[in-house]
Structure 1
């Protein structure tokens, strides 16, 4: 079987840069899936992407589907022949439909008698016939939120399509996809080589584009070229270091086919503006990389990546410097203007801005945050006055010119303006830290006041929206409550704050006077605790460990976290499964007897040595582990309880729990209840059992 390479390239108008990488990967995955479904063997699949093309190369692609044996069951033998042994009409019809003679059929014995069967081989279809449909399927499956049409054509794609390559070995695959007829010609760089370039074989693809088309088709190679080029220009020409944001690097890679890094400069007077504002302007609007010196201080220069190798680079640089100057001038103007009005004077201007129709204005929310932040500060031993002040100022920078122009600077500019206004340093820091963590892997607030405001803001949203019966549903989460819940968990756990969610949610609920749900606290607490599951799954913690702790419903996230880690360590012990099974057995016994057994254990009623051994072991363990559990050292406590395995096994081997004597039975049940309650101080480890009861 021949295995030539296959190349498909879709040439388009400039593709959306932030989506290019995803589109490329999805195109490759779509072809991979289609080939697998068709049962066609192939080697490595490579993807290529530039602003004007998506391409996939499949190496060593089998030229046909494998032949597939099949079996078609016919009539029963007794119904296939008459008394003289001649074929019946049923047999003749079956054979005629298959285009064969009756003597070509085999006999198959089954438990229901003998049947006639036709066994054959279905010839695999040639790969070249299947490729157009596979490519169309892969393109139709791309994650394109909104497809477009162009001209009078009916085809739809993310951008207008201008050419198509479908090359299998050295031969074109004749077809039309997205309104374009397949050919062997690609196009080079829009300016350096706008004409056609013939691709003779799929293996020539990159070589032809690089050497003749002024195009680097491989996304990863182009990305590294930009990264190393920007780094080199910063070091050699600016004597500094380029700060390379990975997301910006991906976006710039998606904007260039032949990248050329160039160094531009701007006036030093703009360095008086907070660097975050300068960076936001350069990255968001111009796609520039900024440069810092050895002290990590911003330098008055930037690096742009041109999509052309100009004969006069200075003209390209001058053009970019001309474009960035008014952007930076605007930032400087906003900064000077904003500082003329103290943040506290902007508070009343929040009144017309609606936070949520039933929950009031942003001004209302700000006052609730301030009050709640003060309560939280009291709970962790921080300064409540500073927490309330930070909460009061928390949203005022949203009204500044700078934040309205660069919305990613909310909080950041609040910190600068608060410091300029003479606010306490902890208050100023809290204005930026209130938004932490903003995403997975982001840091949490580093100051107590920042943590108080961050918690208050998130809890206000959670309790408020649950309180008017508007929790997240399905994928709909317009107020980002899932992210808010995860933020609450991370702040409490990573800052090691021993605050209880029921108490926190209760404080937040008391700040409202318009909630329609009678008790929003419990739903909010359950919702936040459930967010723990995904974070622990990401850490490789088995689901049964989470469920064992969740069964006890500890409402203090730090305590919940410590229990999960302890139980996760416990399940690795050799004694764990036996003790989990014993707890399951105890749970089943007690449940059949009506649940928890009240009453003290009476040692005078013991009849078996195994009873006394378990009782004494429990007494000893209680003395050892209670102080550990009291201070949250669940790991050491469970490690100690693992020593009970031997006496527990002996008890169940030697003792008849359900004795005929009522008092004896009650005493043994009380002993088992004591055993179970000791483990329940941490988790319901009966849920850890992975084998049969």
Structure 2
């Protein structure tokens, strides 16, 4: 008979940034454990609050199904001698299964008739399996560092205090993490700090809500907070900025959310908004409020974990806490403005970029040499690019960035503006880090785009040059992210740049002695970037062989590569594509076997067969049709035009002997095939679209 199952582990306050992950992993572990035990069950629901992880399973079978176990023994031919007496092999097989030979059955298999032993295995009771399933799931949680407490030997992310396990209305007898299972949970630490009996899994959520004062459903609690914070902001004629990461963290900090609005002095609005927001978000977990134009308002919204009878006291307490934080930010800002970014460059000589590659100052010098070259290539202002490159890391040695590390670049923008630098130079201070992550916006200014490219290319060349490429999950200099950033900047900004040449320029700015891989670093870094390009297309649903067909051309201009990949992908969807890819593969194999050079010119007078004459005419027509398209980089239209070759190509291979005994005929036909293949190779190696045999 199926019953509902509930397990709840009660703990000290769990790490808020990890709570959602732990919740999902716990439920996943329980689900996989039940599947592994071959138990039938319905919905699996995960719950989590700061002091508990829980999983509820509906319709869980009360026992495993009985099943027949069949073991195969030796072949019947080898199991008996000519007189029908059992062999040692037969007797040994019977003995190993605790029966006599005459109790064995026979089974017909693809390898002939064999002896077999069939037994019935009784299914185990579900309640006997559940403690082990729960324990294994907890042991597999993604916890980087487990802790012990008191004299206990058990380990978990936080000390554990209670364990609830119910199957239907009955407690599941068992021990997990040193705790004996029961049917009690505990309410809110302040509103209901006592044990609560849970009589069945269906009572769990409501019992914790009332009288427990705990909203145990993470998703429900998250939406309650969103609604409350939104309403609080509307009360002060503003809009709350609710970022998902902060919302998740706050949800993981409270069991009974109550949103409250506080305010700070308007004088603090003279400080860069990003610094105030960082103080409120990172240190206090407050939501900030903006007006209709997106400008910061002097309010913040905190989410309390209690329903206070005097909320004003809670608000005033939070206002007292945030005031010195904002005062510090204001002090740092005013102090930093007294020293220009230019004057701060000298301090960068004391900040190491990488031990073998020198200081951050050295890096800005290299960027100041590289950025103008990139600017010239895309028609940007070379002077501004050089100026931005020299100043781009100076904010790293300001008080503001020392206190608020996430403001690097942003602080640089405000200080460059304060110093009277050109607007694009100031913008480049923070745009140099764009895109920071997948889907992040790109720089809007040309100078910012140039600096973002130069910075990434310099890092890629330097780290590859000292022989420290990423390995496995280790990527301390974020080269994967840098490579994806380069690709996005070039492709999405439609910059016709040659990565090989840019990497050579970046390499040449390093002292030759600094790069142990000086001669090979450009090709290493280029190959790495292009490999990220391949992964990007796979994420977009473009098959790997499409990218490989283009990569076979050994190209290094991402915008050109992108154009060709989309053209080849479109071609691969055509009904003629498979046959033409196979034909290209066949031609490639034929030409690869030649000892000497591939014949290039076709003598029309040597075309004897109707099929080869038809293919020659089709190839000549296709050449005239696609060459203007190729010249204009209209590769999609070009390849689509070549799809009409299929019929004549198929006819040629059906009716013409390529490797004829007559050398002139053979070479003429090889030249014709070479011209056919060249039509496709102009774009990509289409033969790679053909499936491997």
TM-score range normalised by the length of the shorter chain: over 0.9
Select 1:280's aligned residue among 278, 281, 294: 278
- Aligned partner of 2:516 in structure 1 is 516
The verdict on how the C-alpha distance between 1:402 and 1:70 changes in structure 2, with shifts beyond 3 A counting, is same
TM-score normalised according to structure 1 size:
0.96
State the aligned residue count. 690
- Structure-2 change in CA distance of 1:601 and 1:183 (3 Å): same
Matched, 1:190 2:189: yes
Per-residue deviation at 1:97?
A: 5.8
Given that 1:370 and 1:453 are in contact with CA atoms closer than 8 Å, whether structure 2 keeps it comes out as no
Distance 1:598 1:97, change over 3 A: closer
Quote the residue 2:381 is aligned against.
383
Write the distance in 1 (CA, Å) between the matches of 2:339 and 2:429: 17
**2:603 equivalent in structure 1:** 602
> 1:297 deviation in Å?
1.2
Distance 2:596 2:198 in 1: 77
| Alignment-derived partner of residue 211 in structure 2 | 212
* 2:39 is the alignment partner of 1:40: yes
Say which of 339, 344, 347 aligns to 1:346.
Answer: 344
Deviation at 1:89, TM superposition (A): 8.8
State whether residues 13 and 159 of structure 1, in contact with CA within 8 Å, keep that contact through their aligned partners in structure 2.
yes
- Give the 3-state SS of the residue equivalent to 2:60 in structure 1: coil
Alignment of 1:15-26 (within 5 A): 15-26=14-25
In the alignment, the residues of structure 2 paired with residue 496 and residue 485 of structure 1 have an alpha-carbon distance, to the nearest angstrom, of 16
Given that residues 590 and 596 in structure 1 are in contact (C-alpha distance below 8 angstroms), is that contact kept between their aligned partners in structure 2?
Answer: no
- Unaligned runs of 5+ residues in structure 1 are none
Matches within 5 A, 1:49-198: 49-73=48-72, 98=97, 104-108=103-107, 116-198=115-197
Relative distance call for 1:388 and 1:201 in structure 2 (3 A) is: same
Q: Give the corresponding residue for 1:579.
A: 580
Q: In the alignment, what sits opposite 1:313?
A: 311
Shift of 1:652: 1.9
Does the C-alpha gap of structure 1 residues 441 and 103 become closer, same or farther in structure 2, counting only changes over 3 Å?
same
Shift of 1:653: 2.4
Contact kept, 8 Å, 2:600 with 2:675, in 1: the verdict is: no
Hey, what's the Cα distance between the residues in 1 that align with 2:654 and 2:433? 58
Counterpart CA distance in 1 for 2:44 and 2:291 is: 43
Q: What does 1:91-490 correspond to in 2, within 5 Å?
A: 98=97, 104-108=103-107, 116-235=115-234, 237-490=235-488
Partner of 1:593: 594
Q: What do residues 563-594 of structure 1 show as CA deviations (whole Å, max 9, x unaligned)?
A: 11111111111111111011011101111124
Q: Following TM superposition, by how much is the alpha carbon of 1:198 offset from its aligned partner in structure 2, in angstroms?
A: 0.6
Q: SS of the counterpart of 2:368? A: helix
Cα distance between partner residues in 2 of 1:403 and 1:195: 46
| 1:596, distance to aligned residue in structure 2 (A) | 5.6
**Bigger mean CA deviation after superposition, 602-611 or 328-337:** 602-611
Question: Does the Cα contact within 8 Å between 2:599 and 2:667 map onto a contact in 1?
Answer: no
1:224/1:664 CA distance change after superposition, 3 Å = same
> Aligned-pair distance for 1:519?
2.5
Within 2, Cα distance between the matches of 1:275 and 1:465?
35
Q: Against the structure 1 CA distance between its residues 445 and 77, is the aligned structure 2 distance closer, same or farther, given a 3 Å change threshold?
A: closer
Deviates more, 1:29-38 or 1:92-101: 92-101
Write out per-residue CA displacement over residues 356-384 of structure 1, whole angstroms, 9 at most, x where no aligned residue: 11111110001101110111001111111
Contact 2:50–2:255 under 8 Å retained in 1: yes
The answer to whether the Cα contact below 8 Å between 1:259 and 1:307 also exists between their aligned partners in 2 is yes
State how far apart, in whole Å, the 1-side matches of 2:686 and 2:236 are. 62
SS in 2 for 1:548: helix
C-alpha distance in structure 1 between counterparts of 2:490 and 2:332, whole Å:
36
SS at match of 2:3: coil
SS, match of residue 535 in structure 1: helix
Report the Cα distance in structure 1 between the residues aligned to 2:560 and 2:167, rounded to whole angstroms. Answer: 61
How far 1:610 sits from its partner (Å)? 2.8
Q: 1 CA distance for matches of 2:326 and 2:349?
A: 31
1:596–1:673 Cα contact (<8 Å) kept:
no
DSSP-derived class of the 1:5 partner: strand
- SS of 1:59's equivalent in the other structure is strand
**1:436-475 CA distance string (max 9 Å, x none):** 0000110111111111111111011111111111111121
* Cα displacement (A) at 1:619: 2.4
Q: CA deviation at 1:614?
A: 2.2
Q: Sort the Cα spacing of 1:182 and 1:598 in 2 relative to 1 into closer, same or farther, 3 A.
A: same
Q: Which runs of 5+ in 2 are unaligned?
A: none
Superposition CA RMSD, Å? 2.0
Deviation at 1:306, TM superposition (A): 0.3
The change in CA–CA distance for 1:80 and 1:541 in structure 2 (over 3 A counts) is closer
* Partner Cα separation in structure 1 for residue 360 and residue 91 of structure 2: 83
- C-alpha displacement of 1:113: 7.3
| Compared CA separation, residues 337 and 686, structure 1 to 2 (3 A) | same
